[in-house]
Structure 1
Amino acid sequence: MFATPLIPVVLAAYYLGGPAAGALLAVVGVILGVAVYRMSPKVLLRWYGARKMSRETYTFIYPYLAKISSDLDVPMPQPYVFDSAAPITFTVGNNNRYYLLVSTASLDMLDKDELKSIITLEVTKVSKGSVGANTVVALLAGSIASLSTVALWMAMLTGFGQEDDPAPRTISFLAMGMVSLPSALLVHIFTIDSTVEADRMAAGMMAEPCLLAEALERTGTYIKLHVTGGFNPGHAHLFSVNPLKTNTIFDVYSSMFLTKPDIRQRVMYLENIKKVNP
């Protein structure tokens, strides 16, 4: 993954500075790449303020995670919870260490069976081998995309107004215009989208395959009606349901980060599976 952007940089250094410069830059690039790869899961855990779930509080999650992980022959992700008004769930990790992050809204909104179906969906992503690359992309693309938020805060702190005032929003919009292309390119080039296959596998592992379709539909509808935004678009490919909206001109860049099928397509696909395999 890191070799693709590193190769032209190393060649340029070799051309401009000779073999020593090229070799030095290659070594530095490899070291930085390994560091980012290893650190990215922990950084994202801190990014969301995630905390490890208590076995006493979430009694059914640990044994269910252990069962599904054993069935799929993958390392069991460690369950974490983070505060969010949006019912989103995602998995990060690498090197056989994975972390399942569940928002407080998901725990409050979904019943036990629906939550199990979402957990199953996340563990199937681990089995498909997509989590490691997607975690690194989320850190890099999310860091680039967050520069627009930095621009918004700088505008607010320098007297341009409050968050919803025209001037700060325009500055943030222009900043997002500059950072969205490289961030979105990272997402589209390097992420591994296994949504359809993961949906199929997860539904097949459930005693009632319709539960996953119901959970996805409820989650998508809730986000559409009640969640106003606040998501880093560089992380959208991680989530079980896409939370990005394009309601106003200020949201137009969010469409560049869409990597998953529409929620209605996913639900229809799962319902068709049920009809074929009643």
Structure 2
Amino acid sequence: MVPIVLVGFYLGGLIVGVLSAVISFILAWSIYRLSPIILLRWYDARSMSRETHSFVYSHLSELSSHFDVPLPQPNVFDSEAPITFIIGTNKKCYLLISTSSMDMLDEDELKSILTLEVAKISMGTVPVNTAVALFAGAIAAFSTITLWIAMFTGFGQKDDPAPRFISFLAMGVISLPCALLVHIFAVDSTMEVDRMAAGMMADTHLLSKTLNKTGTYIKLHVTDSFNPGHTHLFSMNPLKTNTIFDVYSSMFLTKPTVEQRISYFENIKDISQ
């Protein structure tokens, strides 16, 4: 927003500069407030029932008190990948848990993931990463749009090479600006969050076990495609680079690998013994 204001002052003088500043402030405030709402609708997230999942609310309340952060509103969204993430503003956050996570993780494993997610709020990076996800996700969605256009114009089905190649070319055009946006503005606090979560939990082995379980499941069983502009939010990066059509995914691997994180937790356990 600052460059826009400076250009306004340079080209139009004081009045245009002030007007640019006011408009920029309104836009920034709107993006700040609306980004989490838009992403909630993007994933068709539904508020989690307090009666059905009382242990989730109870553990979130305990974690929020421990980290001295606002209580996040838990939501569930449909995905075959066991991923979770936090979006929101400084005053209100939303926790999104995939249906796969709810199905495959037991209560203790789910609590360990919740600990990692709530720790992110205390880092103060959630609002920035949410806004980045909105913009980067919108850019990255262009390749998906071209895929569906290709299919609707008679190039075949989803797994046929023609529409996939068109999507591949479109992704080549938008991947660089999208990845630059993520790398420049998104804040990766994974290792610090892992350290904070490990300091709170009595059994760090549970954290490494849960990460290994979900990471292995994603690697072997998940075939969903993910918006690369959102993966910096996720508990772990589900993007794969198995074929030539996945080559651009490597540009969005911003987090430490699951193996590195597990090694960190195992080292903590060895030191504490």
TM bracket (short chain): over 0.9
CA distance in 2, matches of 1:68, 1:156: 46
On the 8 A contact 1:114/1:212 being kept in 2, the answer is: yes
1:104 to 67, 75, 99: 99
Amino acid at match of 2:78: D
Cα deviation digits, residues 122-175 of structure 1 (max 9, x gap): 000001111111111111100110011111111111112211112211111111
DSSP 3-state at the match of 1:101: strand
Residue 247 of structure 1 corresponds to which residue in structure 2? Answer: 242
State the one-letter code of the partner of 1:135. Answer: T
C-alpha distance after superposition, 1:57-89 (max 9, x if no partner): 112111111011101111111111111111000
Q: For the aligned residues, what is the CA RMSD?
A: 1.4
1:142 alignment counterpart: 137
Q: Is the 8 A contact 1:117 1:203 kept in 2?
A: no
For structure 2, the residue ranges without an aligned partner over 5 or more in a row are none
Distance 2:237 2:139 in 1: 19
Q: Does the 8 Å contact 1:203/1:210 carry over to 2?
A: no
> For this pair of structures, how many residues does the alignment match?
273
2:80 and 2:224 in contact (8 A); partners too: no
- Structure 1: unaligned runs, 5 residues or longer: none
Q: Which residue of 2 aligns with 1:29?
A: 24
Q: Hey, what does 2:159 align to over in structure 1?
A: 164
In the alignment, structure 1 residue 129 sits paired with structure 2 residue 130: no
CA distance in 2 between counterparts of 1:15 and 1:162 reads 52
Match in the other structure for 2:205:
210
Residues 90, 124 of structure 2: 8 Å contact kept: no
Whether 1:74 and 2:69 are equivalent positions in the alignment is: yes
Deviates more, 1:157-166 or 1:257-266: 157-166
d(CA) in 2 for partners of 1:127, 1:112: 23
Instruction: Name the CA distance, whole Å, in 2 between partners of 1:186 and 1:25.
Output: 23
SS of the residue aligned with 1:146?
helix
Does the aligned pair in 2 maintain the 1:229–1:244 contact within 8 Å?
no
Structure 2 distance, partners of 1:150, 1:272, is: 45
Hey, what does 1:85 align to over in structure 2?
Answer: 80
Question: What SS is found at the alignment partner of 1:247?
Answer: coil
1:174 corresponding residue in structure 2: 169
Aligned counterpart in structure 2 of residue 196 of structure 1, from 178, 191, 195: 191
| Matched-pair contact (CA < 8 Å) for 1:84–1:104 | yes
Give the 3-state SS of the residue equivalent to 1:216 in structure 2.
helix
CA shift for structure 1 position 95 = 2.8
Picking from 215, 234, 238, the partner of 1:220 is 215
Greater displacement, 23-32 / 95-104: 23-32
SS in structure 2 at match of 1:60:
helix
Counterpart amino acid of 1:187? V
* Percentage of identical aligned residues: 66
Q: Alignment partner of 1:100: what SS?
A: strand
Asked if the contact 2:90/2:126 (under 8 Å) is kept, the reply is no
In structure 2, the residue matched to 1:117 is 112
TM-score (norm 1): 0.94
Distance, in Å, in 1 between the alignment partners of 2:114 and 2:202 is: 14
Residue matched to 1:265: 260
Give the letter aligned to residue 204 of structure 1: G
Is residue 125–residue 194 contact of structure 1 (8 Å, CA) maintained in 2?
A: yes
Q: Give the C-alpha shift of residue 28 in structure 1.
A: 2.4
Residues in 2 aligned to 1:105 and 1:265: alpha-carbon distance in whole angstroms: 24
Tell me, in whole angstroms, the C-alpha distance in 1 between the residues paired with 2:33 and 2:109. Answer: 32
